[in-house]
Chains A and B, each alone.
Chain A
Amino acid sequence: MKAKAADFLILDKETGAYKIDPEQAVRDDVEKHYWHHVLLTVAKDWRLYLMLVPMILVFLFWRYFPMYELLGCFKVSDNVLPVSEQLFSGFSYFKRLLFAGDGLSTDFWRALRNTFLLSFYGLCFGFPIPIILALFFNEVRSNIARSVFQVLTYLPKFMSTVVMASLVTMLVKQGSLTTEMGIVSRFLAGLGLISRDVANAGLLNNPAFFRSIYQISGIWEGAGYDSIVFFAAIIAISPTSYEAAQIDGADKMAQMRYVVLPSILSTIVIMLITRIGNLLNVGYEKVLLLYNTKTYMTADVVSTFAHRNGMQSGGGTGIAAAAEMMNNVIGMLLVIGANKIAKTASNTSLY
């Protein structure tokens, strides 16, 4: 950008003549020798920039270099050569996964569908429950009772995925001639919700039950913890709002409808948009721990598909990288789109 002459010259009141503006001269110098000034600033303030270095290195090495490895999806499948030495092969893996019509391709479509469905059901069932829990928490006036409820319902969140998956595996495990089936299976069979034979064969071996088990264990694990943010929004409502509504003759339902709901709506919208943005981020660790060959039909998600093909045996790292590339690009578009919507809807940017 070229500075106009008028920017340089200021009127000197005492002599009545124009002279060069010293500040503008500095600005002009900075513009001309930009990198020189950057270097000077960094050198003068080097301690601050040194603090940034470990973080940059960690993210560069273990977050950005994998993205370079991801480019393997455009290369010839060769697990021996590093990505940089492979030949560029364009979109062959993508074509293979999307249109080949063989076993691998059907598996990929199934994985994509399962990924979407697991998240979508999570959104339908997992999302409203924390809100309802928060409403219930608000009804508990005694501090001791409320903290007891909160301690108990937050607890499963801090168990590891392995502990959670192990408990689930044990609680719904199959029965045999000498051993009884898991206690939850027995409970469900006793209630008549599922037949005894089905329960005895092991619910985790039955593709029809995988999604329910995944969602219910997810609610068990996270609903209490997820309710914190809604509860915080609800207790922020001023008691006078309730009193005003009561004077107007509003019963509990009307208070919910006209006082509570409008007050926490923005929180709900933000959380909902975040969930939609993360629609393709299924916790692969949990799926990996809970699924087996018998339940691939409903349980296999893109990450586990990639895991099997890229890290165990199967299609190879190129195929796996192509599958993850598609999943992650769609996921990123969803996140960015969701963030855009959040910005326009509530003037709150999530990131």
Chain B
Amino acid sequence: MKRKLEISELIFKILSYTMLTVFALCCLYPFVYAVAASISGRSAVEYGSVVLFPKDIQFDAFKRMFSDNMFWNSYSNTLFLTLFGTIWSMVVAILGAYALSKKRLLFRTFFNFFLVFTMWFSAGIVPQYLNYLATKDVFNAMGIVDDKWLVVIAMGMAAMNIILLRNAFEGVPSEIEEAAIVDGATEMQVLRQVYLPMSKSTIATVALFFGISRWNGYFWARQMISNQNEHPLQVFIRLRLEQFTDPETMAGWNESYASDSVIYALIICSIVPILVIYPFIQKYFAKGVNVGGVKE
């Protein structure tokens, strides 16, 4: 009897390790292949002899990209959008979530509904597009001709993140706040010195979500930023991909490296910053998917 138990558990354990290894390798492989293909020689990439390790190593694809002004431009644009976009979103979300977390707020149910309704019903991309166009006109009339500010201010807000913050603020014991008020703290001081330090991990999680969505933002940036020099990295990658997979433009390709290598090099450059901060932020991921904490 005891023996049978051990066998079934052993089989499942072996199965688990095997399947997890296979899946983890599948997750990793495209990136490994991208690295290998980006630094392999032209014929090796084009005839498909690169499978795991690079062959005829060259760095010309990377060099070509690094000498491309558009690349650096788009990189700095992405940094700009990520930095200012995250700051703007965080300020709006923290202030709003703090007010919503207060039981004494009048019409609290209404404001909560105002927020949650946008999760139930979204206008869709065409009405949003028309709305952004109208916003753009208003911004231009105000003298802001830089489309980047439109993307920073108008896009990337998510009701879900505000709700996560609100729930964290609601979890802060009210005694501490009362003590601070007795000591003469103003509303802003209570928020800055009581609430923010006490919900650090949720704030980190939400900032991470905002930051990642800003870094990865593509569709609206492409629709709304008309000036090519202001395109963020994701748009740049896509435009290059469209250009380099078009057989007509590629007919006259006579470099020492394959055109694919440039695309792979671009992809690698765009994910390196995420990979660098990934180990530090990984512990915050699980917080955001905590479903039980979400309630009206």
List the interface of chain A (C-beta within 8 A of B). Answer: 38, 41-42, 45, 47-49, 51-52, 54-56, 58-59, 61-70, 72, 82, 132-133, 135-137, 139-140, 148-156, 158-163, 166-167, 169-171, 173, 176, 178-181, 183, 186, 220, 223-226, 228-229, 232, 246, 249, 251-253, 267, 270-271, 274, 284-285, 288-289, 303, 306-307, 309-311, 317, 320-321, 324-325, 327-329, 331-332, 335-336, 348-351
Contacts and interface: CB of A to CB of B under 8 A. Distances in A.
Given A61-B154, A155-B28, A271-B291, A285 B218 contact: yes
B260 A170 contact: yes
Nearest to B188: A47
Contact of B218 (A64, A65, A160, A307): A160
B126 A306 contact: yes
Given A139-B13, A152-B27, A66 B127 contact: yes
Contacts of B26: 220
Contacts of B131: 61-62, 65-66, 69
A351 B33 CA distance: 41
B291 A229 contact: yes
A41 B115 CA distance: 23
Given A137-B20, A170-B264, A66 B130 contact: yes
Interface stretch (B59-67, B98-106, B172-180): B98-106
A331 B153 CA distance: 27
Nearest to A57: B92
Contacts of A61: 131, 135, 154
Given A154-B285, A249-B1, A176 B126 contact: no
A310 B126 contact: yes
A219 B260 CA distance: 25
A152 B124 contact: no
Given A41-B106, A267-B291, A284-B125, A153 B1 contact: no
Contact of B245 (A169, A228, A274): A169
A228 B285 contact: yes
Interface string B78-105: 0000000000000111011011101011
Given A161-B218, A284-B125, A252 B9 contact: yes
Contact of A59 (B4, B125, B157): B157
Contacts of A159: 216, 271, 274
Nearest to B241: A166
Contacts of B99: 48-49, 51-52, 55
B184 interface: no
B155 interface: yes
A171 B30 contact: yes
A152 B282 CA distance: 11
B128 interface: yes
B187 A47 contact: yes
Contact of A66 (B46, B50, B114, B123): B123
A163 B102 contact: no
Given A158-B212, A320-B126, A321-B126, A183 B48 contact: yes
B259 to A, nearest CB: 9
A171 B33 contact: yes
26 contacts: A51-B96, A52-B95, A52-B96, A54-B95, A58-B154, A61-B154, A62-B135, A66-B128, A68-B127, A69-B127, A154-B285, A160-B216, A160-B270, A162-B216, A162-B238, A173-B245, A179-B47, A180-B47, A180-B48, A228-B286, A249-B1, A249-B5, A274-B291, A306-B126, A321-B127, A324-B127
Q: 8 tightest CB-CB pairs across the interface, nearest first?
A: A55-B96, A324-B124, A180-B48, A160-B216, A310-B126, A66-B123, A139-B16, A69-B127
